[in-house]
Structure 1
């Protein structure tokens, strides 16, 4: 089957147990290069901190590295957790990226810390920082457009680059903000599925056109485990379930054992892990393609961003290929 909507990739630069981080980052470059060859629209990287299994914490640096090893594909943050940063610094970072790689850089923005409470303090983040997220987005937008909101303060590089902004979210808050500001909206349905349909409906209903965007534009995220056999895809799912449980349920300073993970997955906390896989396309290529089309209609999305969760670089590359070959990819 073929689809008539764009497909993109969200890559967390995963680090497997015992894997050198450099090897993980080399795999991230391979994934982006293959996505480019296959015709995917964009690859995004997410800002997370203090997770040994994620190597995308220095998001702008990673984007710069991948951009230097690719030619056409759009690259960006999905997203930068803006309350962790000064809007001016982010404008300078992404203005630099856009200057070096014109027409290829996106900037998705979220308001969560992307980490635990202790690390949030280490980031020098005030717990009230999320309260000013709308103002911070407007300030950042001003730096990138050249219409600064802070008299006499400009982003160099950055001023006038017009790096496109995207609001990320998993609740109605982000949907309302994206609608009011006339920005594209990306919903994190790959790990927080509950409010997807309500948020998208609210965004579309309240959208106000802006200089960046005339009509509402929705990106919805979905987990993908495409493999040559359903048995292999199911194996990958089980590995992924356990990885996520270990990542989010292990207490500070302790790595859950396999037996502890079994007990954790059987607990109320474990049900939260299961809910994270509500929107998952799994199996052989035809089944995955059908699920992607079904999900796009369910989410009322203009674009899907796929999160390939295989436990090896080769598995993620194969998943990318199977989706591209069977579902097809469409330019925006």
Structure 2
């Protein structure tokens, strides 16, 4: 049975931009959070590619990964993930091969099949999603061929050109929230990260399908699962619930076609019953509460998913509240370790 004491904890950062905040300050917060996470002992720090969202500053993902790797020392840094329809496999291999060369043994590459934005994003990035969806498996195979350690790749891909850092075996993760991504990860023998932080509905079904159909590969002899989960921890349950209202408001705005920056928790949520139901479904996997409640929630999630690792996603209007939430999560793991010893 998976236990919190023996499970790796990692961080997923979308680099939220709050109302009235400069984008540069949001980026500097990401650097500060990564430095603190490195000191605490979190295992990974992943950044997600999003576009055309006023409240998200992680668009130039590879650039930001390099900056965060430069100010940390131990923690793994990577993409959770790079949206492969937006890039050629050659470009991604060059970027992450370069990062791995500069920070050996610390770089991860998670890939997803969405554009990380809306229709305007697809148009701006020249992405045809019909073609991109059909070509996604082959793009993944081509990327693996460019990064694979062996010269004669098992993934036959063309064109195949030299890339900085080739054959360094940068770890590639498949990201997703559906059976499609789960089955592709299993077929290719890749580790799998499920995005329960925004789409938890098929979590257990997808993880079960991935494990059932997993085909061992040279780098991954067994299935490996990360579950990304929203967590809002505070010193009291009342405060944690209050902080979640900022995320509910953000989701409500997006559902109404408005990409706004993260606001302070509103006094009341002006949602319809249908909107409330949709947002509660979106955050059905969220773990919200005081330190003991958060610890219990993390343990229950591990028991139900048997995940190898948890990727914690937390956004708050006040950066200090965000740091405190991650600190509470880390303290929960340390307390579990003390009780085990």
TM-score range, shorter chain: over 0.9
**8 Å contact from structure 1 (residues 191, 275) kept in 2:** no
2:297 is the alignment partner of 1:291 = yes
1:141 aligned partner: 144
- Aligned-pair CA distance for 1:162: 0.7
- Aligned-pair CA distance for 1:300: 2.3
- Aligned-pair CA distance for 1:237: 0.8
2:44 aligned partner: 42
2:193 is the alignment partner of 1:186 = yes
| Change over 3 Å in CA distance of 1:104–1:252 after alignment to 2 | closer
* Residues 121-130 or 43-52, more deviating: 121-130
1:307 aligned partner: 313
Q: Secondary structure at the match of 1:49?
A: coil
1:89 aligned partner: 91
* Residues 270-279 or 229-238, more deviating: 270-279
- TM-score normalized with structure 2 length: 0.90
2:126 aligned partner: 124
| Change over 3 Å in CA distance of 1:152–1:139 after alignment to 2 | closer
Match 2:285 to one of 279, 288, 291: 279
**8 Å contact from structure 2 (residues 231, 312) kept in 1:** yes
**Structure 1 Cα separation of the partners of residues 146 and 317 of structure 2:** 40
User: Residue by residue, what CA displacement relative to the aligned partner does 1:138-160 show, whole Å, maximum 9, x if unpaired?
Assistant: 00000011446445732420311
**Structure 2 Cα separation of the partners of residues 327 and 49 of structure 1:** 34
| Change over 3 Å in CA distance of 1:251–1:52 after alignment to 2 | closer
| Change over 3 Å in CA distance of 1:286–1:155 after alignment to 2 | farther
- Aligned-pair CA distance for 1:270: 4.1
1:202 aligned partner: 209
- TM-score normalized with structure 1 length: 0.93
1:161 aligned partner: 168
1:241 aligned partner: 248
| Change over 3 Å in CA distance of 1:115–1:234 after alignment to 2 | same
- Aligned-pair CA distance for 1:131: 1.2
2:319 is the alignment partner of 1:319 = no
**Structure 2 Cα separation of the partners of residues 119 and 152 of structure 1:** 27
**Structure 1 Cα separation of the partners of residues 136 and 301 of structure 2:** 30
User: Residue by residue, what CA displacement relative to the aligned partner does 1:238-271 show, whole Å, maximum 9, x if unpaired?
Assistant: 1221122223423589x99x99x955x3153442
| Change over 3 Å in CA distance of 1:252–1:289 after alignment to 2 | closer
2:8 is the alignment partner of 1:25 = no
**8 Å contact from structure 1 (residues 170, 193) kept in 2:** yes
**8 Å contact from structure 2 (residues 4, 298) kept in 1:** no
1:232 aligned partner: 239
| Change over 3 Å in CA distance of 1:205–1:283 after alignment to 2 | same
- Aligned-pair CA distance for 1:316: 1.2
CA-based RMSD of the aligned residues comes to 2.2
Is there any run of 5+ residues in structure 2 with no aligned partner, and where?
none
- Aligned-pair CA distance for 1:228: 1.4
**Structure 2 Cα separation of the partners of residues 208 and 153 of structure 1:** 25
Q: Secondary structure at the match of 2:11?
A: strand
Is there any run of 5+ residues in structure 1 with no aligned partner, and where?
none
| Change over 3 Å in CA distance of 1:106–1:252 after alignment to 2 | closer
- Aligned-pair CA distance for 1:70: 0.6
| Change over 3 Å in CA distance of 1:94–1:147 after alignment to 2 | farther
* Residues 240-249 or 8-17, more deviating: 240-249
- Aligned-pair CA distance for 1:121: 1.0
Q: Secondary structure at the match of 2:200?
A: coil
**8 Å contact from structure 1 (residues 189, 222) kept in 2:** yes
